[in-house]
Amino acid sequence: MKLSRISITLLGVALLSSSGAIAGDVNKGSVQIAEKLTVEGKRLNPGRYTVEWDGAGPTVQVTLLQGKETVATFPAHITEQAAKNTADAYGSIEQPDGSRSLTAIYLAGKRAVLEVQQNGTSQESSSPGSK
């Protein structure tokens, strides 16, 4: 009797910990940025970034990391597309001073689009980039 309770408890713990590991990868991806961009006043140099986001609703908190270093954190609106993204890509828009701002992140294999919120609203991407 005790052995079956212990077995059931261990099985339950194993299932919970494995589903947590799987769920951790759902809100994560990477994107190659090919140009200098800004997001929330932070400068992004060209390079590969890990993209992570927290939240389940339409508004999420996005963190961009380069290696283990957090480069930027910003709010985004997550939307679902009809089809999965075929490649990692991003959207940017030119600012009046000639600089470019990040407007969206598209992650390969996911239907989700992370639309960067500026001043509480999401911007449409005018120039998608991909690498």
What digits encode the pLDDT tens for the residues 32-61? 999 999 999 999 999 999 999 998 779 999
pLDDT at 130: 47
DSSP character at residue 90: E
The pLDDT tens digits for 75-103 are: 999 999 999 999 999 999 999 999 999 99
Q: Kindly report the pTM of this predicted structure.
A: 0.72
Bridge pairing between strands 121-122 and 69-80? unpaired
Domain boundaries, the chain: 28-130
Amino acid in the structure at residue 12: G
| Spatial contact of 121 and 58, defined as CB atoms under 8 Å apart | no
Are residues 104 and 93 in contact, defined by beta-carbon separation less than 8 angstroms?
no
CA distance 19 to 110: 19
